[in-house]
Amino acid sequence: MATLCRFRHLIGNTPILQIENKIFAKFETYNPSGSVKDRMVGYIVEKAIKNKKISNNTVFLEATSGNTGISLAMIGARLGKKVKIIMPHNMSEERKLMMKLFGAEIIEVGFNDFIGAINLRDELLSKDENYWSPLQFSNPLNIECHRNTTGPEISSAIYQYLRIEKKSNVFGAFVHGSGTGGTMMGVKRYFDSARHSHPKFVLAAPAESASEHGIQGINDGEDFLLDTSQMDQIIKIKTNDAIDRASRLARENGLLVGISAG
């Protein structure tokens, strides 16, 4: 079976870009499939390979709104694995096309029915031992990945900038949306354990309900790994404002990003 050893170096170590005077963004589109999910999927797959949980007959399976499915399809193609993705039928056609280009099979469930997608995934896992899933919504390795990779990268880049610019050694806030909650909780755990100043953790959440907003990949109906009690602040973002900001990032900064980044 192929390994990720000649591929893993492409994941992570993404640049941090200055958007405005005091606003920086981690440019995760530099990951090979174009999103932060490459980190988590690659990390969990590597652990599974080392622990002999993936065999020659393994079929990758996951419930997703899109980006995790794209990452799993990409890595599955690298490893020569069949990949099956379960997702609500109203997710973007662009995401479905990317998964199909990597050779994945897509199983669609009802409108915004993420819980139904997860339940179907779990049912299939229980019926066939050849299925393997990263279990992104409940796997603590999702948090561990970002605690060990994303958090240290952010810290190193921001504090290096502050030193070079001779700014006060203050990192004000980390602002992020939550799909599974893995990135937010992992970065928070890193800074909780760090010795330097601790930023506030601000959750950006859709202003509309999970069934009404149009920001795919965020607020899929449950908090999953996210512990909202550990957030310093929660800010509500209207879908139209997120769309407008993503458009402005393209026009004003030359950055093509998704609505969740907006």
Q: Which of 26, 37, 84, 188 is catalytic?
A: 37
Closest CA to 247 of 233, 260, 231, 262: 262
Q: Cβ distance 83 to 102 under 8 Å?
A: yes
Q: Give 222's contacts (C-beta < 8 A, 6+ positions apart).
A: 114, 115, 137
Is 37 marked active-site?
A: yes
Q: Is 193 tagged catalytic?
A: no
| 34-to-3, 37, 183 alpha-carbon distances in Å | 20, 8, 16
Distances (CA, A) of 203 to 28, 59, 223: 18, 34, 12
Given 33, 35, 155, 260, which residue is catalytic? 260
Helix, strand, coil tally for the chain in percent (to 5): 40, 15, 40
Q: Using alpha carbons only, what angle is made at residue 45 by residues 261 and 150, rounded to the nearest 5 degrees?
A: 40
Number of Cβ within 10 Å of residue 80's Cβ equals 10
So which residues are the catalytic ones?
37, 260
